[in-house]
Amino acid sequence: MTHVHLSGLTKSFGDRTVLDGVDFDVAQGEFVSVIGPSGSGKSTIFNVIAGLDTPDSGIVDAPTCAYMPQKDLLFPWRSALENTTLGLEVQGVDKKAARRRARELFPIFGLGGYENARPAEMSGGMRQRAALLRTVVQGREVLLLDEPFGALDSLTRTSMQGWLQNVWLQYQWTVLMITHDIREAVYLSDRVIVLSDKPTRVRRQVEVPLARPRALDVVTSPEFAKVESELMDVLISSY
């Protein structure tokens, strides 16, 4: 079942064409990463899918999505629990019901016992998990993750990648993720979409034929290296 369908998507800002006929589908329960040169329109595609921007032409068929931006954007004066219920409160969910729904996820997201902690009292990885919890608790069918781990150090990022794979396997969300890290894209994804430089089109869609769950040492396997090399070649030729 197709969850997201884009066809002939175009978008310009003034006389600058950013998207020039972007086409791809995402199946229900699929984890798809989007990579491409900096400034190639990845976030513009996400904004269109999320309904935050309007394309000039083309077809966008997607359910209401939950969107996690690059930064955690947690309010420093709100507790972790209060931050994670913000999206529900904006939707008009009763505050007590919103907190009950969010609180149930805290142990699953490795945040048990930190419900009352302020963001300054949490590590970078914990803040990112709180931001993802805030996204997931909204109950949307599709998650849009815009470089969710881009601001983290290498060790924390690796840990978060393994954690995200595990919770995704548990809940089988439909996920679209922007990343500049090819290795991250291969490790987490069922398929990787490579964009060209502006004006942007889809250069290639690469399947990742690696069994799940994936241990961290899969990155040293020949199969992993083959996919990583193909993506690198396509990405370099996009500049």
Same domain, 155 and 223: yes
- Rounded average pLDDT over 100-112: 91
Residue 41, classified by CB atoms within 10 Å of its CB into exposed (0-12), middle (13-18) or buried (19+), is buried
The structure tokens listed for 123 are 């590590």
Same domain, 109 and 197: no
Q: What pLDDT was estimated at residue 3?
A: 87
Please write the tens of the pLDDT for every residue from 53-99. Answer: 999 999 999 998 988 887 788 999 999 999 999 889 888 889 999 99
Please write the tens of the pLDDT for every residue from 139-197. Answer: 888 999 998 887 778 888 888 888 889 889 988 899 999 999 999 999 999 999 999 98
Strands 174-178 and 31-35 come out as: parallel
Which of 93, 123, 140 is where one domain is finished?
140
Same domain, 236 and 154: yes
Positive or negative CA dihedral for 41, 133, 173, 221? positive
Same domain, 238 and 130: no
**CATH code of residue 220:** 3.40.50.300
Q: What pLDDT was estimated at residue 213?
A: 94
Record the pTM.
0.91
Q: What pLDDT was estimated at residue 238?
A: 63
Distance from C-alpha of 61 to C-alpha of 59, rounded to nearest angstrom: 6
Residue 34 lies in a domain: yes
